[in-house]
Structure 1
């Protein structure tokens, strides 16, 4: 059994960025990072464009102009203006080559086919020039840029529909236990509804990891061995729920050993989540989490989260930790460090009731852990405590 800090360090040291290229449709590339520089295939805007609703003018010395037509956004006709002529124009519409300024409609008096400006206007005013954002062949976005909604919109505006990005890990979740049944099925005596797979899947989705498969395996050694061999060979990360303890029907540890998965640690001095396994085989990482739901999710946030951030080459690999004032009391039983489900708000944190590793009720409303170190036996109201902020 090892300590928390040593376990975290081992996860950091053995989790490496994937650095593999893959192609994604632009609409499914959100939160990925660009694998290579993207150069613009077009000028943006591709034509001289009106920045206002108003009037495109061929400037002359007078404030009066003859109105000779109209151009809407999307129109492709190209009227030829003479000096002193104008066309009604709308935001985003193409400006005639012979026009050299746009006056906003609020500063124009219209009488029939004559318009009068409030004042003179400078040449090229309210005209977006060709390539104002980016010119054809110029760098649009650098390699490793994270694709935010704005970045995706920008690339779409350049006509780009597929992008080369860094691959995110594909992940398998394996649940074990004959007692588990799916929600919606009859709950016979001795059975419980399986929750860990959907819980972990959605924790992964919350981190923008969507390539996730779920597998169920019975408490049978040969079936456990076969399923783990399959998912380890096919995935970058395998998360196993249950079967890692020392019961007669806990086959995961034995199967991982036979599959020659290198054990980097097994069992961490902490509560909840002591029976935690972390190992690797070839290029795959394997976490075997406790079967109790609250323990499994705690281990996910403290350890699996770090591995995922490292694999995606993100700079902030651990959840943020801050100091806060405790609004509640708590007495710790035993000497193991403990992660307590809690609610944090505006510099103050309250430890919740129901800290059992099997209970999700309080976890469902928590947004933080209060971390109690090995040498801390109790918390009093007003004490300064260490808080781990959970993803929201």
Structure 2
């Protein structure tokens, strides 16, 4: 059995991003950029009106003559003389001979006459050429996560495809003869299977969408065959259950028989002690505890950062967040603990039902609190390490 810190160190030394690939801009969403991009244009590429109003050629009076109109996408090519104005709309090109745009709410219009309520300063309400970015400047740097705004920004600069890090495909392998699919008849001695859909949901919430499901019976040959198939077809494999030391827990021996290298097995933590992590070439295999709360805890602490790192996200296994605990709490444990908790603002409250099989309060939590092993008492107001989930 190894410490949590040692487990983290092993994963940090092992896990690296997958290969780069060129994809369309839409396909690049929720990926990590694998190159630094430079703008090929100025943005905006012309002097642009910031609002609906009138572009004016400034003179000493507040009265102007309206001589035309500029819609978005059009160009007004004639030269304005001092005291002349053109109606203009948001996003339209401001004529070179105009020095400001007065918003429509600050004028009075009578036929072709425009009366300003006040004098206006030069370049008011005009977006200058390159105000957002100049040609040849860095648009986005390598390792940027491409959210909706990033995709829109790149599209506005004319990009149609980019290089990103491949996101890992994930296989979920469910073990256990005692499991029955939800909706089916539940015989005595059986339970409904919940870990697969729970892990799928956690993966989708983390923007990992290519997920395959596998089910195996509790026998050695079936376990070995399905594990070999799942590892062949996926970048990361999550095995749910079958990793403990019972007579019908075949996952560890099956992984060894198909030559999966053990990185570590059993961690000094609660819940989630029987966690196994191994690799085969560039594939990473997690064998997670079967108890649902232990399963999900190991997912958030070990699996999710691994998937992020494989995707090019600079994710750390060690949390640097701390919050103030809202109550006293006695720690008396030989293993380090990850406890279900609720964070509100800068405060955290430990929840009830911390048993590794219980999901009811996990469903209400938004964090896990890490507590080192030992015998000590936390006092209300103390700081504790928090993993948000």
- Shorter-chain TM-score bucket reads 0.7 to 0.9
Cα separation, 1, equivalents of 2:301 and 2:318? 8
Which residue does the alignment assign to 1:173? 172
Which residue does the alignment assign to 1:13? 13
1:47–1:318 Cα change, 3 Å: same
Which residue does the alignment assign to 1:90? 89
Which residue does the alignment assign to 1:201? 200
Matched ranges for 1:103-122 at <5 A = 103-121=102-120
Which residue does the alignment assign to 1:214? 213
The Cα of 1:258 is off from its aligned counterpart by 1.0
| Partner deviation per Cα, 1:197-251 (whole Å, 9 max, x = no partner) | 2222222333333333222222233332222112222322211111112223222
**Is the 8 Å Cα contact of residues 179 and 191 (structure 2) preserved in structure 1?**
yes
Cα separation, 1, equivalents of 2:356 and 2:338? 10
Q: Does 1:242 align with 2:234?
A: no
Cα separation, 2, equivalents of 1:52 and 1:339? 53
1:292–1:55 Cα change, 3 Å: same
Alignment gaps of 5+ in structure 1: none
Cα separation, 2, equivalents of 1:60 and 1:343? 63
Q: Does 1:386 align with 2:364?
A: no
1:354–1:116 Cα change, 3 Å: closer
TM-score (norm 2): 0.87
1:285–1:149 Cα change, 3 Å: same
| Partner deviation per Cα, 1:44-69 (whole Å, 9 max, x = no partner) | 22333212322122344544322123
The Cα of 1:278 is off from its aligned counterpart by 0.9
Which residue does the alignment assign to 1:45? 44
Q: Does 1:360 align with 2:354?
A: no
The Cα of 1:136 is off from its aligned counterpart by 4.3
The Cα of 1:277 is off from its aligned counterpart by 0.7
**Is the 8 Å Cα contact of residues 265 and 277 (structure 1) preserved in structure 2?**
yes
Which residue does the alignment assign to 2:224? 225
The Cα of 1:385 is off from its aligned counterpart by 6.5
The alignment of Structure 1 onto Structure 2 pairs a total of residues equal to 387
SS in 1 for 2:374: coil
1:215–1:23 Cα change, 3 Å: farther
Which residue does the alignment assign to 2:265? 266
Q: Does 1:335 align with 2:322?
A: no
Aligned CA-pair RMSD = 2.8
**Is the 8 Å Cα contact of residues 328 and 350 (structure 1) preserved in structure 2?**
no
**Is the 8 Å Cα contact of residues 323 and 387 (structure 1) preserved in structure 2?**
yes
TM-score (norm 1): 0.87
The Cα of 1:379 is off from its aligned counterpart by 4.2
Q: Does 1:290 align with 2:269?
A: no
| Partner deviation per Cα, 1:102-131 (whole Å, 9 max, x = no partner) | 223344332211123345545544333443
The worse-fitting range, judged by mean Cα deviation, of 319-328 and 284-293 is: 319-328
**Is the 8 Å Cα contact of residues 52 and 104 (structure 1) preserved in structure 2?**
yes
SS in 1 for 2:263: strand
The Cα of 1:81 is off from its aligned counterpart by 4.4
Matched ranges for 1:50-65 at <5 A = 50-60=49-59, 62-65=61-64
1:88–1:363 Cα change, 3 Å: same
Alignment gaps of 5+ in structure 2: none
**Is the 8 Å Cα contact of residues 324 and 387 (structure 1) preserved in structure 2?**
no
Cα separation, 2, equivalents of 1:60 and 1:331? 77
The Cα of 1:380 is off from its aligned counterpart by 6.3
Cα separation, 2, equivalents of 1:289 and 1:250? 12
Which residue does the alignment assign to 1:252? 251
Matched ranges for 1:111-150 at <5 A = 111-121=110-120, 123-150=122-149
